[in-house]
Amino acid sequence: MSLSINDARVFSAALKKARKKKHLTQAQCAELLEHSLSFQKDLERCRCSPSIENFYHICRTLDISADDCIFQDSHDRTASTYQALLRLLPLCDEKALSVLVATASALAENNASVMYPDTKSKQT
């Protein structure tokens, strides 16, 4: 099964961005991923899509967020801080995870209040 045209475009852009972020040429990236240069070029030009096994391998090897390729939103899940947090989560016990959820919720609420301040006028 291949990716839809839109999903293939998203994956293609993510692959190219990740390759450039690691300062790899297409040839170097193809070698790292153990596939041909022509396949690498076709992936980046959205002329083909990887198998599920290749998709997984590419995402893991180049630190591409599979979520970003599948569930598109405005969040950049490829940032090193986000990836570092994801790697640490499995090391946390349930209590630590609940603290992280509470902290993240408070930070998200704070960001929302900064981005969308209450427009009600103050009563005198």
pLDDT tens digits, 80-120 = 787 788 888 999 999 999 999 999 899 888 876 666 665 44
Has residue 122 been placed in a domain?
no
Contacts of 88 (CB under 8 A, 6+ apart): none
Q: What is the CATH number of the domain that holds 55?
A: 1.10.260.40
86: left (phi over 0), alpha (psi -120 to 50) or beta: alpha
Q: Where are the alpha helices (DSSP H) in the chain?
A: 5-21, 26-33, 37-44, 52-62, 66-70, 80-88, 94-115
Q: What is the mean pLDDT of the chain?
A: 83
Single pTM value for the model: 0.57
Domain that holds residue 54: 5-75
- Contact predicate 48/39, CB 8 Å: yes
User: Do 90 and 71 share a structural domain?
Assistant: no
Where is mean pLDDT largest: 7-11, 67-71, 74-78, 109-113?
7-11
